[in-house]
Copies of this chain bind each other. A is one copy, B any other.
Amino acid sequence: MKKLNILLSTDYCKHFFIIIAFFLGTLCNAQKHPNLILTKKGVESIKMQLGQIPVFDQTLSKTKTEIDKEIATGIHVPVPKDMAGGYTHDRHKKNWITLQKAGVLFQILGDEKYAKYVHDVLKVYADMYPTLPLHPQVRSYARGKIFWQCLNDANWLVYVSQAYDCIYNYLSPKERAHLEKELFIPFANFLSNENPQFFNRIHNHSTWGNVAVGMIGLVMDNDELIHKALYGLKKSNLNTNLKDDDGGFIIEKGQKAGFLANLNKPFSPDGYYTEGPYYQRYAMYPFMIFAQALQNKKPELKIFEYKEGVLIKAVYALLNLTNKDGEFFPLNDGQKGMSYYSKELISAVDIAYQYGGKDASLLSIAKKQNTVQLDDAGLAVAMGIKNNEAIPFIKKSIELKDGSDGTEGGIGILRSTDHLTNLIMKYTAQGLSHGHYDKLSFSYYHNGNEVLQDYGLARFVNIEQKNGGGYLKENKTWAKQSIAHNTIIQDETSHFGGKFELANVHHSEKYLFDISNPKFQIVSAKENNAYPNTKLHRTMIMLEDEEFENPLLIDVMSFKSNTNHQFDMPFYYHGQIIDTNFEYNHPDQLSKMGSKNGYQHLWLEGIATPRKRTAQVTWLSNNTFYTLSSFMQANDTFLFTRIGANDPKFNLRKDPGFIIRKPKAKNDLFINIIETHGSYNPVTEIAHNTRSAINEIQKITVENANYIAWSMTTNKGNKHMFIVCITEANKKTHTLNINGQIYTWVGAYTHILKKQ
């Protein structure tokens, strides 16, 4: 329509053959559609295979049922009014889904009723759009027109572009010209030129914006839009102090923009997306669908090879960031329960299979998803499944580096040899505005269940009663704070003082990630900026030993400061306490543990100063027993906490935790060991292996400050000794004198087992 506008504003005669050229171009273009996601050739293959490809056929049949039912209800294009979860929001959202699917059904089934429906709905949008002011809800830094935020307008266009492509040939040039002039072009301009603070960022919002503009640009062969999509707006005049609704910066100095920049910057070479898996999943759809479209229409870009194939790597990274049930680890702002069964991952797995070398292990994921994208990629997957080509996708221990060049820390995932026990240690950069202040934190899973949890976000996505489905204030006051995580807290203040500006320029440093011995896997990282003049170093070991029923998690946090501080080490468990090996006080009233930094959300349910050096607490969760054994020094306290204080809207889950507190320390270690043991069966009522196998943990004093050492004695009297060099991770020979005994080993750490 851009061309048409130009045309109408110029002299008719002079531009006669421009007109001819335009209509010829339009005609050629028309003949080629669909060519965005579905292709003419792809549609032909699909039609030939229909009825013989079970997963594809089922998906198609379900889609047909769903869309027929929806079409039967008529056309609903209400004037925008509500927040997320409200009627107009949900309705417009349903429309984008219905339109996209109806377009696909038209192509595959050839029934014009679908094309007519898409056209009819689009005409109503085209009638309404030019009249729309900004959305009446004023909560967003980038208000949309159809939705309360531009983000959702962009979602709409990404899907609807596909619908338009599918019915492009069905429409007359006049009909297309009308839709483009009244709806698509102004829509794309609104998302870009009129909202640079939304369009020109390094952020998942901008990716959606870029892709929306790019997709409709590709359908219309509008190079200007395509260029904007790939490279961003040339001039945005954005102020570097601007922040978005989540407190993230809109723009950094000298920052590039557009789709390629959003592929360059937030993705590490390992395919890890700095915001974390929940948002990576969300962004995967526009990334992958636009890549597919670009591959179809601009193969010369070789988009799937961009940055050494980062898009395909990103899909693998995401699959590795899931627990046994395929649920994403809720790092940073992440909603629990979101999984690789989401539509974004169905699409991503199909596209990665098609464009990433037909890896048969992806078929096993697609098989579980039991749905495919209704296009060439989905067809390829369905054929692979039908031909029994699927092989298991095995999630192994893996490190995913963070930072556009992979130098900004990362995520270390340790998985036991039976794959049932998973440790996720986080030593990434801040993760933009959705990042949490949780340097060196971790979460821990057994058999798909959370043992020690990451709280995730404080939000009920799309439940309107809870703040319109948006982030709750407890996301900031609790979920983002350091105390909400299984990591160290100094003086009851969050890392970087909870200041995004500061956190955003730092990242933790990987120290070690060594999985060469599958029965002694180790990950270790340092954080030197979370607190001024304090250095933190956490080392986590997954140890498998015949004396223990399941892998042990050994967790050693060392800290070194100039001055004395209080240090807290929280562990958030689930379930019910079965036993402790120490006495504690249980208060008669519950009080808040503090007034800020998240402590105001914790009730104190118990407090102890254990006399034993090894404090143990056993709990039962999901019919499995767990024991935390903590090395305690004199004056260390053991606190029992529960989330839920200062929560007047019941926005938080009332989950329990332990805190091991060193009231005054400067240079010391927290040594904690988590055992998974036994089982309880409420039907047979048999309780098996209900007790810890650990007798004692000891810190071992080492004169040489380059080393830390500790030991663990089992109830059978076997003694494990661990020495870690904390200054030199490279392979070299170490010799160390501890209490007159000389130890020599190669590499940063050694483990010595003395059997009784």
Contacts and interface: CB of A to CB of B under 8 A. Distances in A.
Interface of A: 85, 335-339, 341-343, 460-466, 469, 576-579, 586, 588-592, 603, 605-606, 618, 620, 640, 642, 644, 646-650, 653-654, 656, 680, 682-687, 690-691
A338 B682 contact: yes
A262 to B, nearest CB: 22
A690 B463 contact: yes
Nearest to A642: B654
Contact of A466 (B578, B592, B682): B578
Contacts of A683: 337-339, 341-342
A295 to B, nearest CB: 27
A682 B328 CA distance: 12
Contacts of A590: 589-590, 603
A651 B478 CA distance: 27
A646 B682 CA distance: 26
A464 B687 contact: yes
Nearest to A465: B579
Contacts of A685: 335, 338, 461-462
A52 to B, nearest CB: 29
28 contacts: A85-B687, A85-B690, A335-B682, A338-B683, A339-B683, A341-B683, A342-B684, A343-B684, A460-B578, A460-B680, A462-B685, A463-B620, A463-B690, A465-B579, A465-B618, A465-B690, A466-B578, A466-B579, A469-B687, A576-B650, A577-B649, A577-B650, A586-B647, A589-B589, A589-B591, A605-B644, A654-B654, A654-B656
B592 A588 contact: yes
Contacts of A586: 646-648
Contacts of A342: 683-684
Contacts of A338: 682-683, 685
B463 A682 contact: no
Contacts of A605: 644
B460 A336 contact: no
Nearest to A343: B684
Contacts of A466: 578-579
Contacts of A690: 85, 463-465
Q: 8 shortest A-B CB distances, which residue pairs?
A: A337-B682, A590-B590, A577-B650, A586-B648, A465-B579, A463-B687, A461-B685, A462-B687
A650 B617 CA distance: 12
Most B CB atoms within 10 A — which of A586, A649, A650?
Answer: A650
A453 to B, nearest CB: 15
A85 B85 CA distance: 51
A249 to B, nearest CB: 26
A356 to B, nearest CB: 23
Contacts of A654: 642, 654, 656
Contacts of A647: 586
Nearest to A681: B337
A690 B690 CA distance: 42
Contacts of A462: 685-687
Nearest to A464: B690
Given A335-B685, A589-B589, A682-B336, A576 B463 contact: no
A366 to B, nearest CB: 16
Given A577-B649, A590-B603, 5 more contacts: A85-B687, A335-B685, A460-B687, A463-B687, A606-B648
Nearest to A650: B577
A443 to B, nearest CB: 17
Contact of A465 (B578, B603, B649, B682): B578
A8 to B, nearest CB: 43
A653 B621 CA distance: 12
A616 to B, nearest CB: 11
Nearest to A619: B650
Chain B CB within 10 A, most for which of A335, A465, A591, A644: A465
A250 B227 CA distance: 89
Contacts of A646: 586, 588
Contacts of A591: 589
A461 B620 CA distance: 13
A646 B588 CA distance: 7
Contacts of A640: 650
Contacts of A687: 85, 460, 462-464, 469
Nearest to A586: B648
Nearest to A93: B686
Contacts of A589: 589-592
A713 to B, nearest CB: 21
Contacts of A620: 460, 463
B343 A680 contact: no
A87 B338 CA distance: 43
Contacts of A644: 605
Contacts of A603: 590
Centre residue among A341, A343, A685 by max chain B CB count within 10 A? A685
Contacts of A606: 648
A261 to B, nearest CB: 28
A343 B586 CA distance: 40
Contacts of A650: 576-577, 640
Contacts of A578: 460, 463, 465-466
A294 B476 CA distance: 70
A654 B603 CA distance: 13
A579 B469 CA distance: 12
Most chain B CB neighbours (cut-off 10 Å) among A687, A690, A691 = A687
A348 to B, nearest CB: 14
Nearest to A656: B654
Q: Which of A338, A462, A653 has the most CB of B within 10 A?
A: A462
A743 to B, nearest CB: 38
Nearest to A577: B650
Contacts of A649: 577
A463 B679 CA distance: 10
A577 B652 CA distance: 9
Nearest to A590: B590
A664 to B, nearest CB: 27
Contacts of A656: 654
Contacts of A588: 592, 646
Nearest to A603: B590
A640 B644 CA distance: 13
Contacts of A85: 687, 690
A727 B737 CA distance: 90
A580 to B, nearest CB: 9
Contact of A576 (B343, B592, B642, B653): B653
A708 B263 CA distance: 69
Contacts of A343: 684
Nearest to A345: B683
Contacts of A576: 650, 653
